[in-house]
Structure 1
């Protein structure tokens, strides 16, 4: 484990402060001292289970020479665990009210940096190049539930120099994100994630691990970014439009769903199904990614 200077403060004091961040009473006192109140609109639920953040940090792939991009650091509990293991941690925090809180909790970790910005708007490519020059990069975050899919898809679709994403999300969202094509739980986002990465469930986190506790349980998942997609498509925009249409009316057959979703004649879709070797009565959740790609090719979308 890499050691960093603690700015003249003893390791014992730092350890006490880390443990304090897992004490609900101490966290409430910390937030009150800075005049902070929770925002429901920002989906703020801070981790207070002392076992979760160390485990996330251990399993996200950090180490010497590795930089970490964190989204939504909260009060910095996960940030601290990442900073003890990574070369550098850059945390994107939207809520400027948390900046003085993080200034206090991260004081002993000079390899951390907090950027006050919106993860869905900040220009990530130059940020990663500037902050992590010469390093491998991983993402590790306790994502706000309301932006889970948009954040994950942005990080994957932009093909950033990121090796893996380890995120905590709502349990039901984790099931969708990690669902394999051809299974009942699979949806459009499942296909998209599988196209860009190899997802897997790491462990479960109960709702009681947070302050305040949410109404749902959570799951930590890891997505290892693929060097190349598992299927070859001539046009990714057309492929994902087809996937969206197929799952947009998942109770319908692939023939009816694709015809309606893409405004195509049923005869054309029926012919493409035959060419791709797909039953017209099949539903989207029954198709493999290879079959989706074959159907897209057969439709020859323009």
Structure 2
């Protein structure tokens, strides 16, 4: 008597904890190389923030481009400061990275019943990625908020401003003091939107583009394909996610009263309105170059690492 379909053993690399582990390992590998550009992106997104009248030294500091920002951090604060906030980055990726990829696989394969090798319709791939990214970012919002605060401390110290946090623990406790769970989730709305959009471009874009090239053009599934597809997904993620990324960074970085009241922006939409009013529509794309310099190579390193690790474990790749 033949076994029922649901009794077929699940391949090792298809198991959800394994997918989660491969994702986190790949994400941290990529962050180890790209973290300095993430730091530069955060600094540039705050640069010239007219609405922030509480930190005039920070707002009126001489403007720099990406390379000058990276060079300035290395020479003025110390080369080790290029990895400021890396503990928060690891914490974030351990939650956000693993969750979004695992959920994407779950929605696509377990819920909608698409196979790993099947060509996925564009709306299905992007839709699964949007939902997965939103959930992953919601869970990782406290770590993301701590990351932004820590990354801005070097600049604040350089300008003689009072320190706010010193490490991941102090950043977490500072947010908690401003309202407990609510304090940890201040700025969650733009963060969730950003996570959803970036994931749709990153994971959804990678999956759709890769399967399209394989199934339509017969491109072999090798490292060259992974490189081209990952660079495409990084570009898509940067373009559609940049505005939400700027809003998220500014919302996270703003000052709060002792009771947790926002002192600069009333919410995500207020951040958008004030940024456009004071600095123009292109203010929503501040830090775009380091964002793509980070997202492009990040996607390249992440996807190549993911494909190779899965194959090493006996799988067939993404």
TM-score normalized by the length of structure 2: 0.25
TM-score normalized by the length of structure 1: 0.25
Which of 1 and 2 has greater Rg? 1
> Would you tell me which structure has more helix in proportion to its own residues?
2
Q: Which structure is richer in relative contact order (CA contacts within 8 A, separation 6 or more)?
A: 2
